[in-house]
Amino acid sequence: MTEYVVLVNEQGDAIGTMEKLEAHEKGLLHLAFSVLLYRETDLGKEFLLQKRAECKYHSKNKWSNTCCSHPRVNENVEVAGTRRLNEEIGITGVFPEQFVNLGWFIYQAELENGLSEHEQDYILIANTPDVNFILNPEEVSDIQWWSEADIEKELKVNSDTFSVWFPTVYKKVLTHLQQAN
């Protein structure tokens, strides 16, 4: 099935659609979302990160937020986030109304294979202490709960471990969670 993305302008208004790979080849601004699930433990917050599959056409073998993708035409980002949690890692117990939508940011990055990310990326978070997962090997090769300390250490020592968008997503989530306390 051919996948399409929603093209947007700098204000976030939809201006059309394009095949996903073509949008990444041309570096055109399009809608995306990043889901980051977290849980509270006795030692602090932990974040559920996925390692992107070897077969992904970009950012393969990179650790990233719980899931990320693009909403379909006329699909809101919370519904899309729920859909992709199920498709990528088999999580069925998170529902659109559980997400806190932190808004969006725009980023652009050249990728390792000549493609370009240029996304209006919505950040969705949810506190989910008990989730079960079944990895889709075409999307994800590993999934782990990471402590704040482990993420911070890895970002300082080897930021290439992560997808290009993850540090921004993570920092915005941390800021929100710190302000919420």
Q: Confirm whether residue 176 is marked as ligand binding.
A: no
Instruction: Respond yes or no: is residue 55 known to be catalytic.
Output: no
Q: Confirm whether residue 138 is marked as ligand binding.
A: no
N- to C-terminal Cα distance for the chain?
A: 44
Do residues 168 and 155 touch, judged by C-beta distance below 8 A?
no
All domains in the chain, ordered by first residue = 4-180 (3.90.79.10)
Q: Confirm whether residue 30 is marked as ligand binding.
A: yes
Instruction: Respond yes or no: is residue 68 known to be catalytic.
Output: yes
Q: Considering the candidates 46, 67, 68, 78, report the single residue annotated as catalytic.
A: 68
Whether the full predicted model's pTM is greater than 0.85, yes or no, is yes
pLDDT values of the chain reduced to their tens digit, one per residue, 181 residues: 789 999 999 999 999 999 999 999 999 999 999 999 999 999 999 999 999 887 786 778 899 999 999 999 999 999 999 999 999 999 998 999 999 999 999 999 887 778 889 999 999 999 998 899 999 999 999 999 999 999 999 999 999 999 989 999 999 999 999 998 7
Q: Can you say whether residue 103 is alpha, beta or left, with left for phi > 0 and alpha for psi between -120 and 50 degrees?
A: left
